[in-house]
């Protein structure tokens, strides 16, 4: 790799664009430290600096065939690091604003009202799907969930076998799981 240290940036970029990984590594070795210092001035956090530099060099390699430099490699790299750093700062500010808003929402207790509204909506949807079950299956399911009866108690009350009751409940749960998808687990919370 020592012979590559004598190449100018333009020659390294040309070789890299042709797939020469050693030229790419020379660019990395040549610019990594100054780019880290540049990013550090903007970000001030080691992990952020490392992420920005790594992403920038990864993209450089991935875009090597399409890379057209108008102002030279150094300018391109420093501008790319600056832009990525500013994007990260902007993203963090948006996240911070969102988290502050969420924190205020929680402190004011609004989440309880929201939670209650969602709970009622889910409960209504579940009840609607239970009402769409066949009559006998609906009756067995309600005896199990609403009255808390065991399979044996339901079988005795309805004059049928315990196996039939078990099958009815299994089929009801399967149907509800298909209809409700992710809401299915709430059946156990509500009923």
Domain holding 134: CATH number?
A: 1.10.10.10
pTM: 0.50
Encode the chain (191 residues) as per-residue pLDDT tens digits.
Answer: 458 889 999 999 999 999 999 999 999 999 999 999 999 988 888 888 999 999 999 999 999 998 888 889 999 999 999 999 988 888 887 877 777 777 776 666 666 667 778 778 888 887 888 889 899 998 998 888 888 889 999 999 999 999 999 999 898 888 888 887 766 555 545 54
Task: Give the integer Cα–Cα distance in Å for 70 and 47.
Answer: 31
DSSP three-state, residue 71: coil
* 25 and 77, same domain (yes or no): yes
CB 48 within 8 A of CB 88: yes
Indicate whether 10 and 97 sit together in one domain: yes
DSSP assignment letter at 5 = G
Contact 10, 58 (CB under 8 A): no
- The answer to whether 17 and 67 are in contact (CB under 8 A) is yes
Asked whether residue 138 falls in the same domain as residue 80, the answer is no
Query: For residue 112, how many C-alpha atoms fall within 13 Å in the half-sphere facing its CB?
Result: 3
Whole-angstrom Cα Rg for the chain: 32
Q: Do 24 and 82 belong to one domain?
A: yes
| Cα distances (Å, whole numbers) of residue 135 to 106, 138, 139, 142 | 43, 5, 6, 11
Regarding whether 114 and 100 lie in a shared domain, the answer is no
**CATH number (domain holding residue 34):** 1.10.1740.10
Tokens of 139: 């009756």
Q: Are 87 and 49 contained in the same domain?
A: yes
Q: Are residue 122 and residue 163 in the same domain, yes or no?
A: yes
Domain that holds residue 165: 109-190
Tokens of 175: 């149907």
Judgement on whether residues 124 and 166 belong to the same structural domain of the protein: yes
Domain count, the chain: 2
């Amino acid at each position: 790799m020592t012979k590559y240290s004598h190449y100018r940036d333009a020659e390294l970029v040309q070789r890299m664009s042709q797939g020469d990984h050693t030229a790419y590594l020379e660019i990395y070795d040549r610019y990594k430290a100054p780019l880290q210092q540049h990013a550090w001035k903007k970000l001030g956090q080691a992990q952020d600096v490392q992420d920005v530099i790594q992403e920038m060099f990864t993209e450089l390699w991935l875009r090597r065939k399409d890379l057209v430099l108008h102002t030279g490699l150094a300018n391109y790299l420093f501008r790319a690091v600056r832009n990525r750093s500013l994007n990260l700062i902007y993203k963090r500010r948006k996240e911070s604003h969102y988290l502050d808003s969420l924190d205020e929402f929680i402190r004011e207790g609004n989440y309880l009202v929201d939670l209650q509204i969602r709970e009622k909506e889910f409960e209504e949807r579940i009840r609607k799907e239970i009402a769409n079950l066949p009559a006998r299956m609906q009756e067995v399911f309600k005896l199990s969930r609403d009255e808390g009866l065991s399979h044996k108690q339901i079988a005795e009350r309805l004059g049928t076998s315990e196996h039939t009751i078990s099958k009815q409940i299994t089929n009801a749960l399967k149907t509800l799981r298909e209809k409700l998808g992710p809401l299915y687990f709430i059946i156990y919370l509500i009923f």
